[in-house]
Amino acid sequence: MLTSPSVPIAAAATALLEERLRDSENRAQAIIDHMLGGLIMADESYVIQSVNAAAARMFGCEREELVGKDLWRILPEFGDDADELQLSFIEPEVLGSVSEWWGQRKDGSLFPFELSLCAFHYGGQRYVAGNLRDLSELHEVERVKLELISTVNHELRTPLTSIRGSLTLLASGVLGEIPPEAGEMVALAERNCVRLLALINDILDLERLDRRQMEMSRAPVPVATLMERSRDVVRGMAEAQDITIGLHPIAGALLGDFDRLVQVLVNLLSNAIKFSPAGSAIAVSALEVQGTIEVRVRDRGRGIAAAYRDLVFERFKQVEVSDAREKGGTGLGLAICQSIVKQLGGQIGVESEEGVGSVFWFRLPAATAGEEKA
């Protein structure tokens, strides 16, 4: 009897397809199993359906011990409250976002982890899947860093402030005349003390900015007042180099924190002074662009090569190795400016031409008429 050759061919093709499908499934499963990040999937009642090896390791148990368990049982923040978990897991900060949680290991110990949670529908059912990253090490590093910062604060800043006070007193002659040579030594020691204190203050500022612990108000800051106050701070430094600072304010106000914005503008001005030739002029201007105000500091100094224009905003980055020694400073000023401006919802940048000069600018929301009266 003649049989159609298409039947065994179709069967072979189906078998091949099935094998390919199995292969592809196995490969996907192998990737999930070997991933360094944890993966947990739960159904709409938040009962765990599957976990990968990394997630099981994080919770200190076998995968089988987690499958079938209510999700809230391994998230101690919810206690026995499954409803609260259901509510939290539909919050926009949790679903579709990255959030931080505490997990409970099998031995009862707690560990912090980062969760990226998503929801999806499959076969008419709703599921949630979470990507987990253990944050224990990161938290430990953070703890050590905080300890160091607090040591720097108490064990270094406090005695240095008192040493500086004593040196200032000695130099003033209140405690009696000191020979000129000793006077020079005292003045040098005082200058070094001031530099060290400035460095410690900068490091502490950056640390507080990183942890968003620097208090920042959002109030109207009149452009003209900001410019005048900042120029007052650097007046002595500018006069010592015979540099003039011209102010060209506009009538509006920026929305931000007055003291912090003075800190930003003072650093931009002190940089402009440091890197400008004696006798030159610096101009501070402002312009309003689509609901924002841009403050610009233009100098006629040495300028910054294109390759360094982004780098100067990084910590401890100085264009010339000699900048720290010859001009003072440690390369933290612009990093602090950037953190402050960003935290206030603005932008900062530089335009520059080598040998011609630079314009450092920052842009912040303008205070509206109602806010300006407030």
Ligand X SMILES: Nc1ncnc2c1ncn2[C@@H]1O[C@H](COP(=O)(O)OP(=O)(O)OP(=O)(O)O)[C@@H](O)[C@H]1O
- Angle at which helices 333-343 and 180-210 pack, to 10 degrees? 30
Cβ at position 288, least distance to Mg ion in Å: 27
| Positions in 258-317 near Mg ion (CB under 5 A) | 267, 271
Nearest Cα to Cα of residue 260 among 330, 364, 161 = 364
Cβ at position 278, least distance to ligand X in Å: 15
Cβ at position 273, least distance to ligand X in Å: 9
Please say which residue, 202 or 207, places its beta carbon nearer to ligand X. 202
Examine residue 338 and tell whether it contacts ligand X (CB under 6 A): no
- Angle at which helices 258-274 and 333-343 pack, to 10 degrees? 150
Binds ligand X by CB under 6 A, chosen from 78, 318, 344, 362: 318
Lookup: tokens for 41:
């999937």
From the list ligand X, Mg ion, none, pick the one residue 272 interacts with, judged by a Cβ distance below 5 to 8 Å according to partner type.
Answer: ligand X
Cβ at position 108, least distance to ligand X in Å: 47
Residue 157 CA to residue 197 CA, distance in Å, equals 7
Q: For 35-78, where are the alpha helices, taking DSSP H only?
A: 53-58, 63-66
The backbone torsions φ and ψ at residue 137, rounded to the nearest 5 degrees and listed phi first, read: -65, -40
Please say which residue, 40 or 332, places its beta carbon nearer to ligand X. 332
Please say which residue, 101 or 313, places its beta carbon nearer to Mg ion. 313
Cβ at position 334, least distance to Mg ion in Å: 6
**Count, residues near ligand X per rule CB under 6 A:** 23
Examine residue 202 and tell whether it contacts ligand X (CB under 6 A): yes
| Positions in 298-317 near ligand X (CB under 6 A) | 299, 301-302, 304, 312, 317
- Please give the distance of CA 204 from its chain centroid, rounded to a whole number: 14
User: x/- binding map, residues 312-341, to Mg ion, per CB under 5 A?
Assistant: -----------------x---x--------
Q: What is the DSSP letter of 197?
A: H
Give the torsion through C-alpha atoms of 166, 172, 176, 181, to 10 deg: 90
Binds ligand X by CB under 6 A, chosen from 84, 319, 368, 371: 319
Cβ at position 358, least distance to Mg ion in Å: 12
Contact 86, 70 (CB under 8 A): no
Query: Would you put residue 223 in left (φ > 0), alpha (ψ -120 to 50) or beta?
Result: alpha
Cβ at position 267, least distance to Mg ion in Å: 5
Number of Cβ within 10 Å of residue 239's Cβ equals 12
Among the listed ranges 20-28, 108-116, 235-243, 332-340, the one in contact with ligand X (CB under 6 A) is 332-340
Residue 327 CA to residue 241 CA, distance in Å, equals 12
Please say which residue, 52 or 267, places its beta carbon nearer to Mg ion. 267
Give the torsion through C-alpha atoms of 310, 316, 318, 320, to 10 deg: -140
Residue 260 CA to residue 249 CA, distance in Å, equals 18
Examine residue 358 and tell whether it contacts ligand X (CB under 6 A): yes
From the list Mg ion, ligand X, none, pick the one residue 221 interacts with, judged by a Cβ distance below 5 to 8 Å according to partner type.
Answer: none
CA angle 94, 98, 100 (to 5 degrees): 80
User: x/- binding map, residues 258-297, to ligand X, per CB under 6 A?
Assistant: ---------x---xx--x----------------------
Binding site for Mg ion (CB under 5 A): 267, 271, 329, 333
Binding site for ligand X (CB under 6 A): 202, 267, 271-272, 275, 299, 301-302, 304, 312, 317-320, 323, 329-335, 358
